[in-house]
């Protein structure tokens, strides 16, 4: 395990952030932030207010060699240990530019629902696939998030990355997207993305959205803290179906439980801690391996640094 951040490193970072008036909070509980409502404490979480502050912060962290983890809404992440890694939150990066009749550029921290709503106001359709996915553009591009028969890559035109001190635009055809995967790498930094929508009838789309929400409420445990589907589907079988077939629905460790409504969800029934969630993930993986020879991979990102 890495050495914790030293006092000196923290002082340098503290000084830089204060000098640039960049918002940050010390000793922040990621359990407050994450959709699972569990998580480690980070020494510092930084909230850049715009893409320039985001870039400046990253350059400084690289210069002083402090490792960082970028998070959007943390709806797909379990923070187990944050000894040396600090957090950059993109929550405040939510500018949407309408650059033509049907194209937008959205900051990486825009929530998918914000984009969908803003587009519908202009009768632009195509983003409604995202109804019910509580993530941001950055997080969604990493896993090619999808629902309601669509994925974020469907309407994508290009992604802007921050690389070697410059923002570069990479067209969609240079990035591979497949089921819950993209070729975007662990250390790539997404600043913004360009999407192309279609002119359409917003009222009809709003009816579809109501149906999507109804379906989700009936099939997923939306009233409990969770991270959505925990495991990726295996080639042979859907993860939820496998977990259900093995009789693991309802399996509980401390405050973490395999949802009885949707077996690929692990819910926090109220008082789960990090170990409860992690141990339940491991138990499910072990059972699937031992009884069916299937190695389930987590869709959820696990941060243990
Ligand atoms: C109730 C619920 C329902 C869900 N339903 C669905 C669903 O139907 N379909 C689906 O696909 N997912 C679903 N999810 C999972 C999750 O919402 C998506 O994966 C979402 O896209 C994650 O976005 P985020 O901003 O929360 O990502 P985070 O959890 O914050 O981050 C996820 C990953 O993206 C990286 N990342 C984030 N921003 C950047 C950036 N700017 N640059 C580089 N890397 C970045 C992080 O470092 C991390 O590795 C659901 C989750 C919940 C809680």
Q: How far does the centroid of ligand 1 lie from the alpha carbon of residue 292, in Å? A: 29
What pLDDT is recorded for position 1? 54
Q: Can you give the pLDDT at residue 34?
A: 98
Compute CA distances 201 → 127, 132, 150, 195, 284, whole Å: 13, 20, 18, 18, 44
**Contact 266 CB / ligand 1 (< 6 Å):** no
* Residue-level pLDDT at 305: 86
Total tally of structural domains belonging to the chain: 3
Catalytic residues: 180, 229, 299
Q: Are residues 11 and 55 in the same domain?
A: yes
Does 68 share its domain with 136? no
Residue-number span of the structural domain to which 274 is assigned: 221-293
Q: What is the CATH number of the domain that holds 244?
A: 3.90.78.10
Q: What are the residues whose beta carbons fall under 8 Å from the beta carbon of 106, sequence distance 6 or more?
A: 94, 95, 96, 97, 115, 137, 192, 193, 195
Ligand 1 atom at minimal distance to the Cα of residue 75: 26
- pLDDT by residue (tens digit) across 1-33? 567 888 999 999 999 999 999 999 999 999 999
**How far apart are the CA of 143 and the centre of ligand 1, in A?**
7
The per-residue pLDDT for 136 is: 98
Residue that terminates a domain, selected from 205, 237, 261:
205
102 belongs to a structural domain? yes
Q: Which of 82, 78, 153, 81 is nearest to 112 (CA)?
A: 153
Q: Does residue 58 line the site of ligand 1, with CB under 6 A?
A: no
- Give the distance (Å) from ligand 1 centre to CA of residue 12: 31
| Ligand 1 atom closest to the CA of 112, numbered from 1 | 21
The reply to whether 32 and 77 lie within a common domain is: yes
pLDDT at 5: 87
Same-domain pairing of 123 and 73: no
Binned average pLDDT, 10 residues per bin, the chain of 305 residues: 81 97 97 98 97 98 96 98 95 98 98 97 97 98 96 98 97 97 96 98 96 97 98 96 98 98 98 98 98 97 94
């Amino acid at each position: 395990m890495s050495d914790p951040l030293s006092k000196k490193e923290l002082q340098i970072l503290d000084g830089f952030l204060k000098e640039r008036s960049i918002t940050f909070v010390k000793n922040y509980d990621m359990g407050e932030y994450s959709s699972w409502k569990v998580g480690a404490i980070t020494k510092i979480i930084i909230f850049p207010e715009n893409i320039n502050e985001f870039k400046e912060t990253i350059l400084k962290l690289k210069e002083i060699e402090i490792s960082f983890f970028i998070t959007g809404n943390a709806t797909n992440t379990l923070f187990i240990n944050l000894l040396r890694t600090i957090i950059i939150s993109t929550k405040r990066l939510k500018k949407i530019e309408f650059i033509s009749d049907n194209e937008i550029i959205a900051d990486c921290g825009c929530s998918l629902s914000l984009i969908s709503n803003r587009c519908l106001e202009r009768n632009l359709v195509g983003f409604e696939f995202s109804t019910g996915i509580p993530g941001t553009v950055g997080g969604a591009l990493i896993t090619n998030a999808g629902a309601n028969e669509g994925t974020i890559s469907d309407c994508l035109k290009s992604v802007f990355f921050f690389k070697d001190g410059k923002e570069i635009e990479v067209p969609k055809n240079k990035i591979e997207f497949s089921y819950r995967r993209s070729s975007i790498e662990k250390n790539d930094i997404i600043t913004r993305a360009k999407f192309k929508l279609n002119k359409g009838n917003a009222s009809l789309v709003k009816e579809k959205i109501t149906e999507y929400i109804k379906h989700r409420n009936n099939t997923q445990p939306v009233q409990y803290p969770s991270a959505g589907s925990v495991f990726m589907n295996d080639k042979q079988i859907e993860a939820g179906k496998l977990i259900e077939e093995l009789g693991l629905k309802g399996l509980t460790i401390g405050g973490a439980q395999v949802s009885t409504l949707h077996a690929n969800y692990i819910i926090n029934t109220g008082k789960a801690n990090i170990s409860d969630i992690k141990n339940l993930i491991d138990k499910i993986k072990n059972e699937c391996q031992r009884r069916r020879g299937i190695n389930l991979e987590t869709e959820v990102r696990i941060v243990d640094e």
